[in-house]
């Protein structure tokens, strides 16, 4: 009797071992996201990161197994024209072959800026953090600093201005050789830089105050307190500086995820020279009504702006017309 029970238990054990690693897929899909687009210096091409997250819910073929969600990630450096056409994959940054249980990846990459010689400033946050200089195909040429984010070229491409991190708060500047690291501002979220006017635009107080700092005079001016302009509503704000003219442009949307019947997106233009808001254009778009706006960039030598929402890349003229989605992401 004991021998039969032992054989039965042994049979069940080998059965479990034989099906280990097997599973049933309950549901699966993918999410495509476009982010950190930057114009090249001619204003003809747009570089950006395309991230694809594959996911699936499975039930392992083992006794008493529960559902679990797994993920697989891919990152690509892409390039297109201002219409989203002539789309090219320049480099596979990271491609995961097997699913795992991580809902995020340590290989998330971002773009910061591009020089006339097509040297790309990129950065990563997390464990593999740091600011890097890449060639035109996204190959790493140099690790500039093992921390920092949102880099922009400065001083005729001989320096880099960037935002720090939790261990190194504030806004910083460094030579492209890696020398002369210096803190410019003690606090602030770095938004954009004008090399022509040697001025930085940044936000403080969780994006509620938009400020300008002059590297020449070391003076800070608050150009907009959004909490006072529209009290009771928080906003996400994306900002950039005109390539040639001393003007700042920014887009705001309510970040409280409440769809509004109108004024879902506002385009502001501020003239720094005369210290005055010269235009505010309201744009109604149902798709953008409850989304955050990121990565606003003004086209060099042109009239277009590009920006991203949670998944897609959009193009719009600075007068608020011709709003067009030029790269479609989202859930599939």
**Per-residue confidence band for 130, with pLDDT thresholds at 50, 70 and 90:** very high
Q: Is the pLDDT of residue 14 over 50?
A: no
The whole-number average pLDDT for the span 92-103 is 85
The whole-number average pLDDT for the span 148-168 is 96
Average pLDDT, the chain: 86
Distances from the Cα of 114 to the Cα of 312, 316, 317, angstroms? 21, 21, 22
Question: How far, in Å, CA of 257 to CA of 237, rounded?
Answer: 14
**Per-residue confidence band for 206, with pLDDT thresholds at 50, 70 and 90:** confident
Question: How far, in Å, CA of 270 to CA of 286, rounded?
Answer: 26
Query: Of 79-93, 174-188, 194-208, 234-248, where does mean pLDDT reach its minimum?
Result: 234-248
Query: Of 13-17, 43-47, 264-268, where does mean pLDDT reach its minimum?
Result: 13-17
Q: Is the pLDDT of residue 173 over 60?
A: yes
- The token pair at 18 is 């034989």
Q: What is the pLDDT of residue 264?
A: 66
- The token pair at 298 is 């003004």
Higher pLDDT, 105 or 231: 105
Higher pLDDT, 79 or 5: 79
Q: Is the pLDDT of residue 210 over 60?
A: yes
Task: Residue count of the chain, please give it.
Answer: 332
pTM of the model: 0.88
Give tens-digit pLDDT for 110-129: 999 999 999 999 999 877 78
Q: What is the pLDDT of residue 19?
A: 47
Percentage with pLDDT > 70 across the chain: 85
Higher pLDDT, 236 or 151: 151
DSSP string, 189-256: EEEEEETTTTEEEEEETTTTEEEEEETTT--EEEEEEHHHHSTT--EEEEEEE-SSSSEEEEEEEESS
Higher pLDDT, 154 or 283: 154
Q: What is the pLDDT of residue 108?
A: 82
Give tens-digit pLDDT for 246-302: 999 988 765 554 444 455 678 889 999 888 888 888 888 888 877 788 999 999 998
Burial class (CB in 10 A: 0-12, 13-18, 19+), 129: middle
Total H helices, total E strands in the chain: 2, 25
Q: What is the pLDDT of residue 58?
A: 86
**Per-residue confidence band for 61, with pLDDT thresholds at 50, 70 and 90:** confident
Going from N- to C-terminal start, the domains of the chain cover 25-108, 110-187, 189-298
Other C-beta atoms closer than 10 Å to the C-beta of 69 total 14
Q: What is the pLDDT of residue 17?
A: 44
Higher pLDDT, 14 or 181: 181
């Amino acid at each position: 009797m004991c021998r039969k029970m032992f054989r039965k238990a042994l049979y069940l054990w080998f059965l479990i071992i034989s099906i280990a690693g097997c599973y049933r897929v309950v549901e699966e899909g993918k999410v495509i996201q476009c982010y950190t687009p930057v114009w090249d210096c001619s204003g003809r091409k747009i570089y950006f990161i395309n991230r694809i997250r594959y996911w699936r819910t499975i039930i392992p073929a083992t006794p008493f197994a529960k559902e679990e969600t797994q993920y697989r990630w891919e990152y690509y450096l892409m390039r297109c024209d201002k219409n989203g056409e002539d789309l090219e994959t320049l480099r596979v940054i990271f491609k995961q072959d097997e699913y795992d249980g991580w809902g995020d990846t340590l290989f998330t990459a971002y773009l910061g800026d591009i020089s006339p010689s097509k040297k790309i400033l990129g950065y990563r946050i997390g464990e593999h953090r740091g600011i890097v200089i890449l060639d035109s195909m996204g190959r790493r040429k140099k690790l500039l600093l093992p921390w920092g984010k949102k880099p922009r070229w400065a001083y005729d491409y001989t320096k880099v201005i960037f935002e720090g991190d939790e261990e190194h708060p504030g806004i910083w500047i460094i030579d492209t050789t890696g020398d002369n690291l210096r803190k410019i501002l003690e606090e602030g979220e770095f938004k954009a830089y004008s090399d022509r006017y040697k001025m930085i635009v940044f936000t403080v107080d969780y994006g509620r105050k938009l400020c300008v700092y002059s590297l020449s005079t070391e003076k800070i001016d608050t150009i907009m307190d959004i909490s006072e302009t529209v009290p009771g509503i928080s906003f996400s704000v994306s900002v950039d500086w005109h390539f040639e003219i001393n003007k700042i442009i920014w887009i705001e949307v309510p970040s409280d995820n409440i769809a509004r019947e109108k004024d879902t997106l506002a385009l502001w233009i501020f003239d720094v020279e005369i210290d005055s808001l010269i235009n505010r254009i309201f744009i109604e778009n149902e798709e953008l009504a409850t989304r955050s706006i990121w990565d606003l960039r003004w086209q060099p030598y042109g009239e277009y702006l590009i920006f991203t929402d949670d998944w897609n890349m959009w193009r719009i003229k600075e007068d608020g017309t011709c709003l067009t989605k030029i790269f479609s992401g989202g859930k599939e």
